[in-house]
A and B are shown apart, each in its own frame.
Chain A
Amino acid sequence: MSLRDVSASHIRLISFYRTRYTLRGGAGLVFLMITLVFGLTVAQAVLAPIEQVMAQQAKAGQEPDPKEVVAEIVKRGRPVIQWALGIESDENSPASSDPWTTFLLDDRPALLSVIFLILLFGMPLLISFLAFNQIAGDVQNRGLRYLLLRTERANIFIGRFLGTAFFSTLVIAIIIATITFYLGVNIKIYSAGPLVAWALHGFLALSVLMLPYIAICSWISASVGSAFVSLVLAKVVIGGVWLFALLGSLVWKPAIYLNYALPWGLQNHLLHPKLTYSLGTALACLGYMLVFLFLGYYRFETRDL
């Protein structure tokens, strides 16, 4: 049994049932609820201050000007965005001169950019709720033995990864579409074209970013024999790498490079103004994914079930 036994029709069937079973199995439902609430709560946290100021202006008898309100909030939030992007602020040059921040806050719909930056940080921490049980649960209850009579391990591994990735992409699409629709209909400061184009960019960025994190969950899930252990390990690995790098860098600066063990260190570049940077980061994410998938597949293929 090896990668030569891969069958497209088997993979298609397995990934289709994986997507369907994800909701029935509970993990997908929990992920869907948590992610939708998280995504929309982030949007609410970003948009509520603007709506409140506009409401206050209307109450005071002034004509509410959302563009002015957003410009003021963007001005105040610029240093925070620079910090989030890891850009050192220079006291001699004005904050607005940094091209990346300018691109996100001035050239593109700023509110959507801020929401994307928070989602890029938060989604990797949530994805394990969906992806933790690709293999481990079936190993635990020995159900995998019956499936292995009908297909190869490679088909199961790849099919389940693709099914999970498809479900994750679907949920991200729902969140981005809802937020973009709300911004377009209710806040009304961005014209439809740039808003939809930037929303599409954000959707692609988030979808591609999820792939390596799902792949590392596949690897963990294929390596352990308990769904719960798989969930805990996935959480510890994904969150732990970021936390360890952050805390470690406080005492030893180079520890920040630990972030590159996962896409943490480069994922914000998916929103970089230079196409070569954002495309390069997307390719790097796919590279991470392939490495984790290979390691996971190798472990799954060689382990005694």
Chain B
Amino acid sequence: MNEGKRPGGLTALAVLNFIFSGWGLLGIMGMITMIVVFGKLAENMDEQARTQLEAIQAIGRPMLICLLAVSAVSSILLLISGIGYIKQKKFMGRTLGNAYAVLAIIIGIVSAVMMKPEIGGGFTIGAIIGFIYPVLTLILLNTTFKEDLTN
């Protein structure tokens, strides 16, 4: 299938990938800033911010680094697979898109289990919202757009 016949839905999916990728990377930078900078200013924080910081610190440094690294990989996968959708590439689009979706679902489950509710852990509506895009990606790539990513 050539690039000229790319369905509008695939383009929309690619644009969403770019948006969520940028969003994810910004979130990771924000998290790192919160740990590095705000950790030194903990005494001057209000109670809510301090509770959040404590909740982040409670995860433990190795686990936190691991979660941040996996989240960064997930955001990069989003970016690359978005380019893959545009070019209708099988590996770059479909394979990496599926890899992102599976990884994001795993991250979502691990975060829900390990994190405290103050920083988005637990079984909440927020956690369900986080699953929408990965699940949708997984379904669409393997049904609706399966035949469009063959280059």
Interface residues of chain A, those whose CB is within 8 Å of chain B, are 23-30, 32-33, 36-37, 40-41, 43-44, 47-48, 51, 55, 178-179, 182, 185-186
- List B contacts of A51 (CB < 8 A): 117, 124
Chosen A-B contacts, 23 in total, with CB atoms closer than 8 Å, are A23-B144, A24-B8, A24-B9, A25-B8, A29-B12, A29-B13, A29-B136, A33-B132, A36-B129, A36-B132, A37-B129, A37-B132, A40-B128, A41-B129, A43-B125, A44-B124, A44-B125, A51-B117, A51-B124, A55-B117, A178-B128, A179-B125, A182-B125
- List B contacts of A44 (CB < 8 A): 124-126, 129
* Interface residue? B23 (CB, 8 A): no
Complex-state Cα separation, A37 to B128, whole angstroms: 10
Complex-state Cα separation, A186 to B13, whole angstroms: 32
* Interface residue? B95 (CB, 8 A): no
Q: Are A33 and B125 in contact (CB under 8 A)?
A: no
Taking chain A's interface residues, is the majority helix, strand, or loop, or is none over half, making it mixed?
Answer: helix
- List A contacts of B144 (CB < 8 A): 23-24
Complex-state Cα separation, A51 to B8, whole angstroms: 40
Complex-state Cα separation, A175 to B45, whole angstroms: 38
Tell me whether A29 and B125 are in contact in the complex, defined as CB-CB below 8 angstroms, given that A36-B132, A40-B132, A51-B117 are known contacts: no
- Minimum CB–CB distance from A53 to chain B (whole Å) comes to 12
Query: Could you say which of A26, A41, A178, A182 contacts B9, with CB atoms under 8 Å apart?
Result: A26
* Interface residue? B11 (CB, 8 A): yes
- Minimum CB–CB distance from B52 to chain A (whole Å) comes to 13
- List A contacts of B126 (CB < 8 A): 44, 48
- List A contacts of B145 (CB < 8 A): 24
| Most chain A beta-carbon contacts within 10 A, residue among B10, B132, B140 | B132
Work out how many contacts link A and B, with CB atoms closer than 8 A: 60
Q: Are B123 and A186 in contact (CB under 8 A)?
A: yes
Query: Could you say which of B11, B128, B136 contacts A33, with CB atoms under 8 Å apart?
Result: B136
Tell me whether A28 and B9 are in contact in the complex, defined as CB-CB below 8 angstroms, given that A33-B16, A47-B125, A55-B117 are known contacts: yes
* Interface residue? B133 (CB, 8 A): yes
Q: Are B140 and A29 in contact (CB under 8 A)?
A: yes
Q: Please name 5 further chain A to chain B contacts, defined as beta carbons within 8 Å, in addition to the given A29-B12, A43-B125, sorted by A numbering.
A: A37-B129, A40-B129, A44-B125, A44-B129, A47-B125
Complex-state Cα separation, A286 to B12, whole angstroms: 33
Q: Are B129 and A29 in contact (CB under 8 A)?
A: no
- Minimum CB–CB distance from B113 to chain A (whole Å) comes to 15
- List B contacts of A55 (CB < 8 A): 117
Complex-state Cα separation, A55 to B117, whole angstroms: 9
Tell me whether A25 and B7 are in contact in the complex, defined as CB-CB below 8 angstroms, given that A32-B136, A33-B136 are known contacts: yes
Q: Are B12 and A30 in contact (CB under 8 A)?
A: yes
Interface 1/0s, chain B 53-74, versus A by CB < 8 A? 0000000000000000000000
- 7 interchain residue pairs of minimum CB distance: A26-B8, A26-B12, A44-B125, A26-B9, A24-B7, A24-B9, A29-B9
Complex-state Cα separation, A37 to B132, whole angstroms: 8
Complex-state Cα separation, A36 to B136, whole angstroms: 11
Interface 1/0s, chain B 1-24, versus A by CB < 8 A? 000000111111100100000000
Q: Are A25 and B128 in contact (CB under 8 A)?
A: no
When C-beta atoms are compared, the residue in chain A nearest to B12 turns out to be A26
- List B contacts of A41 (CB < 8 A): 125, 129
Q: Are A33 and B9 in contact (CB under 8 A)?
A: no
- Minimum CB–CB distance from B46 to chain A (whole Å) comes to 15
- Minimum CB–CB distance from A217 to chain B (whole Å) comes to 17
- List B contacts of A26 (CB < 8 A): 7-9, 11-12
- List A contacts of B16 (CB < 8 A): 29, 33
When C-beta atoms are compared, the residue in chain B nearest to A183 turns out to be B125
